[in-house]
Structure 1
Amino acid sequence: MGITELTPDYRGLIGLEGKHVLVLGGGLGIGRQTCLAAASVGAKVSVVDMDQDRAKAVAEEVDGLALTGDATDRAAVERFVGEAVRHFGPIHGLADIIGMSDNGPLSEVTDELWYRGLDLNLRHAFLALQIGAKAMTEGGSMVFVGSISGLRSAPGHAVYGAAKAGLANLVSTASLELGPGIRVNVVAPGQTATPRVAERHPEPDYYDKAAAQVPLGRVGRTSDIASAVLFFLTDLSAWITGQTLVVDGGAGRRFAYTKL
């Protein structure tokens, strides 16, 4: 069978004009920037966050729908997905930005911390894939934010790294089961200046020290990660699925080297 070459209309591929994008964890940091990015190219945005005030504030910014709920609870996910569909119609794009780490030595990880880490970094993705996919349109896209911690190892990252590594494999499997109708991909950020990182590292020279390890000379901005998420939500990535895109300014290309 022959293949007919096409020259796409890239203006149309970039836009999400009139399409419905649901953002989990959309009230802060990378999630908020993803909502702004999607709205800037014409998408109708449903903003989900645990914090009602944050969800409402971002929804007002993008003229979208504010939804509140725990994305690790099946009933809550079914509820807010249903509300989003009733308000804006079937979902074209779903972006799951949720994640949080409790760092510490493996020897000190309690059962509570282990299961909390899996819930905060993996369970919500499992539920989003199961429930969200049923509400999506043909040709839709699901994007999950992982981490470089799921691809590289670091002391103290046992729980977070294991969960994010599991996310990459979960998405890879989902891409096989949900294709050809739905694409599924992961964006894996490196060190990024988010509100939560700022709370955890208040020292004034923290980002300068981190930037020294990055070939591009700075840590990531939330907009850097949101731009990668937006790429996967649009048809610019129409023939990409099951992939993990590292967005880290090149930091992960280094290896330990001692000059002899």
Structure 2
Amino acid sequence: MEKQFGKRFEGKVAIITASTQGIGFSIAERLGLEGASVVVSSRKQKNVDEAVEQLKARGIEVLGVVCHVSNGLQRKNLIDETIQKYGKIDVIVSNAAANPSADPILEIKESVLDKLWEINVKSSILIVQDAAPHLQKGSSVIFISSAGAYQPQASMAMYGVTKTALLGLTKALATEMAPDTRVNCIAPGFVPTNFADYITKNDAVRKAIMEKTLLNRLGTTEDMAAATAFLASSDASYITGETLVVAGGIPSRL
């Protein structure tokens, strides 16, 4: 039987970046099923069209826009189209990320460093800058970080460090955007998605990761969506500047 959700986002407008598959798509779906008008985006028109179709089939009000988050014109267009259609923004979920390298930090190319910084950190800041004038009182910004922010893994060291930056960004923006906008962060553990398939497709690696968790399983995109929906909703109206680790009990502290 299909799960029934409350309608915590009735009348709300939510933008989710990188939301045509994986965690981003599940977040868009969850917010939509809870009544939000959702704006989904990613780099390819085909992916955007497919995601819009899937969400419409679930009865969700949805707008799809092509947006490469590091492209200033496309970012501005994402906000403009949202405002044109819905007139306001209540929730922003910044989910776009790149991990183009498995090199150690001391060997990583400068161009790769630039790309990691550009997409994982800088774009997260710029999308909030672009959206800020349209955010309503009681609005919510959510950054999607990673449990790797607390202990960057050797194979994804610089990626982990960019995710650590988001923890600091959450604190800084929560101060700056209070009291009208709350800013929080989700740090997912390992979730089998296209983005992480090179880790989770390998059975030995998958088993090793599962054994690191206390719950003896990998996370699901729905786990991440549920946590995001909570933090974005009025149920979390007294929570800001916090990171919620959703990682099955993998140790996480800075």
TM more than 0.5: yes
2:84 and 2:147 map into 1 onto residues whose CA distance is 36
SS in 2 for 1:195: coil
CA distances 1:165-213 after superposition (whole Å, capped 9, x unpaired) = 1111112111111111111111011111112212455334442232111
What pairs up with 1:38-117 in 2 under 5 angstroms? Answer: 38-63=31-56, 64-101=62-99, 102-117=101-116
Query: Percent identical across equivalent pairs?
Result: 25
SS in 1 for 2:212: coil
SS in 1 for 2:224: helix
Distance of aligned partners of 1:109 and 1:149 in 2 relative to their CA distance in 1, 3 Å threshold: same
2:174 and 2:159 map into 1 onto residues whose CA distance is 23
1:85 shift after superposition = 1.2
1:236 and 1:163 map into 2 onto residues whose CA distance is 29
1:174 and 1:182 map into 2 onto residues whose CA distance is 9
Check whether the contact 1:118–1:159 (CA below 8 A) recurs between aligned residues: no
Q: Computing the radius of gyration over CA atoms, which structure comes out larger, 1 or 2?
A: 1
Check whether the contact 1:46–1:59 (CA below 8 A) recurs between aligned residues: no
2:105 and 2:188 map into 1 onto residues whose CA distance is 23
Gap regions ≥5 residues in structure 2:
57-61
Q: Root-mean-square deviation (CA), in Å? A: 1.8
Q: Does 1:227 align with 2:226?
A: yes
Gap regions ≥5 residues in structure 1:
1-10, 255-260
Q: Name the count of aligned residue pairs.
A: 243
Check whether the contact 2:152–2:161 (CA below 8 A) recurs between aligned residues: no
1:171 and 1:45 map into 2 onto residues whose CA distance is 22
Q: Structure 1 length as normaliser, TM-score?
A: 0.88
What pairs up with 1:91-240 in 2 under 5 angstroms? Answer: 91-101=89-99, 102-199=101-198, 201-240=200-239
The equivalent residue for 1:258 is: none
1:150 and 1:199 map into 2 onto residues whose CA distance is 19
Paired AA for residue 71 in structure 1: V
1:237 and 1:151 map into 2 onto residues whose CA distance is 23
1:174 and 1:193 map into 2 onto residues whose CA distance is 30
1:50 and 1:84 map into 2 onto residues whose CA distance is 17
Instruction: Return 25-34 or 128-137, whichever deviates more.
Output: 128-137
Q: Structure 2 length as normaliser, TM-score?
A: 0.90
Check whether the contact 2:138–2:182 (CA below 8 A) recurs between aligned residues: yes
1:73 shift after superposition = 2.1
